[in-house]
């Protein structure tokens, strides 16, 4: 019995190593979301709640303090203005003042913006980092999750097909 106790560290480490190996294969920017295939999660923050979401649409998690969000912003603006895509924004762990300044500076591509100051909505959406973009279909079911800043390539290859275009 006591010998088993000394084996415990090795056993824990072995389990850990297997997990780490399993994590290696995937591209970290494509963390599969348990949300895919399910309806949008229930959340309600200042400015936006689950009931406001009308698919097909994008839900973009962003923050004024996040540099990649700034980088993807022109692409969101393009999608909203030129392609007529409906986009909802959730400002993750951001002060409303900062969010508004960010949107005033770069333009507001969002139909509605939710102010998720303490990151509660981020929990419901399973956010691992900003920016992240979810695609909702016409029934409001999450069909795709994109982690990291959007690129023209990802929009053409993944997002637009997922929106049914």
Partner 1 sequence: MTAELGHFALALALGLALLQATLPLYGAARARPALMELARHTAIGQFILVAIAFGALARAYVMSDFSVAAVAQNSHSLKPLLYRMTGVWGNHEGSLLLWLLILTLFGAMVAMFGGSLRKAFQARVLAVQAMIGTGFLAFTLLTSNPFARVWPPPLDGAGLNPLLQDPGLAFHPPLLYFGYVGLSVAFSFAVAALIEGRVDRAWARWVRPWTLAAWAGLTAGIALGSWWAYYELGWGGFWFWDPVENASFMPWLAATALLHSAIAAERREALRSWTVLLAIVAFSLSLLGAFLVRSGVLTSVHAFATDPERGVFILLLLGIATGGALALYAWRAPAVGTGVPFRPVSREGALLLNNLVLVTACATVLLGTLYPLFLDALDAGKVSVGPPYFAATFVPLVAPALVAMAVGPMLAWKRGDLAGALGRLWLAALGAALAAGAALAYGETLAALGLAAAAWIGLGALVEWGERLRLGRAPVEEVRRRARSMPRGAWGAGLAHLGVAVVVAGITASQCFQSELILAMKPGDSARIAGYEIRFDGVSRIQGPNYRADRATLSVLDDGAPLAVLGPERRFYPVERQHTTEAAIRTTFLADLYAVIGEDDAQAGRTVRLYHNPLVPWIWIGAIVMALGALLSLSDRRLRLAVPARRRRQPATA
| Number of shown-chain residues binding partner 1 (CB under 8 A) | 42
In which region does residue 91 sit, left (phi positive, over 0), alpha (psi from -120 to 50) or beta (all else)?
beta
Q: Which of 1, 21, 82, 152 binds partner 1 (CB under 8 A)?
A: 21
Q: How far is the CB of 132 from partner 1 (least distance, A)?
A: 10
Per DSSP, what are the bridge partners of residue 87?
58
Strands 44-45, 48-49: pairing is antiparallel
Q: How far is the CB of 141 from partner 1 (least distance, A)?
A: 17
Q: How far is the CB of 47 from partner 1 (least distance, A)?
A: 18
Candidate segments 11-19, 44-52, 79-87, 136-144, binder of partner 1 by CB under 8 A? 11-19
Q: How far is the CB of 51 from partner 1 (least distance, A)?
A: 21
Q: Does 28 sit near partner 1 (CB under 8 A)?
A: yes
Cα(120)–Cα(129) distance, integer angstroms? 14
85 and 61 Cβ atoms separated by less than 8 Å: no
Structure tokens at 18: 């297997």
Candidate segments 15-23, 109-117, 138-146, 149-157, binder of partner 1 by CB under 8 A? 15-23
For the chain, counts of helices (H) and of strands (E): 6, 7
CA angle 5, 7, 8 (to 5 degrees): 65
Q: Which of residues 120-149 bind partner 1 (CB under 8 A)?
A: 122-123, 126-129, 147-148
Q: Does 74 sit near partner 1 (CB under 8 A)?
A: no
CA atoms within 13 A of residue 85's CA, in its CB half-sphere? 28
Per DSSP, what are the bridge partners of residue 33?
none
* Binding region for partner 1 (CB under 8 A): 2-3, 6-7, 9-10, 13-14, 16-17, 19-29, 31-32, 34, 65, 93, 95, 97-98, 101, 104-105, 118-119, 122-123, 126-129, 147-148
């Amino acid at each position: 019995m006591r010998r088993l106790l000394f084996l415990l560290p090795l056993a824990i480490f072995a389990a850990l190593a297997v997990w780490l190996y399993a994590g290696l294969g995937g591209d970290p920017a494509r963390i599969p979301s348990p949300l895919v295939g399910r309806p949008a999660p229930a959340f309600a923050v200042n400015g936006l709640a689950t009931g406001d979401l009308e698919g097909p649409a994008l839900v973009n998690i962003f923050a004024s303090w996040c540099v990649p969000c700034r980088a993807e912003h022109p692409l969101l603006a393009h999608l909203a203005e030129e392609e007529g895509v409906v986009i909802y924004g959730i400002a993750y762990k951001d002060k409303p003042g900062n969010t508004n300044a960010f949107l005033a500076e770069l333009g507001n591509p969002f139909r509605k913006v939710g102010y998720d100051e303490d990151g509660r909505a981020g929990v419901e959406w399973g956010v691992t980092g900003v920016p992240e973009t979810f695609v909702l279909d016409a029934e409001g079911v999450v069909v795709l999750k994109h982690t990291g800043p959007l690129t023209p390539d990802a929009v053409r290859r993944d997002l637009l097909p997922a929106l049914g275009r």
